[in-house]
Amino acid sequence: MNTTKAAGDFAIVTCADRNMLAAGCCALLSARQNISRPASMNLVALDITETDKNAIGLFCSHHGVEIRILPIEKQVLPKISKGRWAQAALIRLFLDQVDLPNVKRLLYLDADTLAVRSLDKLLGLDLGGNLAAAVDDYIAPFQRKLEKRRAEIGLSSKSSYFNSGVILLDWSEVRKNGTLEVARRNVENFHARYRALDQDALNAALDGNWLRIDPKWNAQTGFLREISNPSILHFTGRRKPWSPDSAWIHRGYRGIYEGYLQGTPWENTLTTKGSLKNFQDFLLDAGKRLEGARKSAMVRKFIREGGQSGMWKDES
């Protein structure tokens, strides 16, 4: 379902290829349900078909939500592939090249995110003159990893490193400053040393010009156990809540996707897990927790001390 009129001063955007369309629609629906102000919902979709567009339209009709479909073609993206990162991950670097509303604020969400509490404070956050606000990546509690990443992508010595799955952008200033153009050049020029193509490129482009916010706004899988009140869940890693091999830690969120997809063209994409598979997942998770006890303690300390020290900006 498309609409050409922008809603309010805010736009919420996700990007997806055909494999992630259902998840992307769920991410936008969850955001729409957790804001009280007008905002435009936008899905930048890579190489989708008319059948895909019809499926999105039926999803929107079923839930009474408007989603603007913004097609983008693969030939626009750099022909670079590295590691486990799909070419589609680069779509967010081209948001200034698609027909997004002319709004003051843009909230970018990865397709594998889910809003579960109000986003109003996030949308109204004082950026303090920064171009963006984001959450530390899961590597941040591990000093050696952080220092190595800084050196690899050329960040300043005191910089942190954000996860690009949730980013609040001062959209008018980002466009004026050509921030995404800089990120695209970073990919072209330095991709050989980047571990996470788009994320590294964005961190380099925004170095010293982004605001660190509470991890509850991007509760990555590695942080999830240590955050008591997440507002945006981010299912990092390969095992998503909707996949047949979904991780045990995500078990409580699978039902949300089932509810969102029921009655839509994607309702049969979720498979039911048997009790034996659930038990196996529990054992696997327990083993990983024992094996990673030291890492968990470091993450817990990082989040506790960060909150106590006022490291993260939280209030609007």
In order of their start, the domains of the chain are 10-218 (3.90.550.10)
Rounded to the nearest 5 degrees, what angle is found at the Cα of 261, between the Cα atoms of 257 and 264?
175
Does position 1 have pLDDT exceeding 50, yes or no? no
Q: Closest by alpha carbon to 95, among 56, 136, 165, 42?
A: 42
Q: Which of 122-126, 146-150, 238-242 is predicted least confidently?
A: 238-242
Q: How far apart are CA 166 and CA 172, in angstroms?
A: 18
Does position 247 have pLDDT exceeding 80, yes or no? no
DSSP 168: E
Per DSSP bridges, beta strands 68-72 and 40-46 are parallel
Q: What is the dihedral of CA 114, 305, 293, 153, to 10 degrees?
A: 70
pLDDT tens-digit readout, 22-49: 999 999 999 999 999 999 999 999 999 9
pLDDT of residue 4: 34
Does position 79 have pLDDT exceeding 60, yes or no? yes
Q: Can you tell me the mean pLDDT for 131-149?
A: 94
| CA distances for 40 relative to 123, 171, 198, angstroms | 13, 13, 24
User: DSSP 3-state assignment of 198?
Assistant: helix
Does position 110 have pLDDT exceeding 80, yes or no? yes
Confidence of residue 276 (pLDDT cuts 50, 70, 90): low
Q: Which of 117-126, 242-251, 306-315 is predicted least confidently?
A: 306-315
Does position 291 have pLDDT exceeding 80, yes or no? no
pTM for the model stands at: 0.89
pLDDT tens-digit readout, 83-104: 556 677 899 999 999 999 889 9
Mean pLDDT of the chain: 87
pLDDT of residue 176: 96
pLDDT of residue 289: 56
pLDDT of residue 314: 63
Task: Give percent above pLDDT 90 in the chain.
Answer: 63
Confidence of residue 292 (pLDDT cuts 50, 70, 90): low
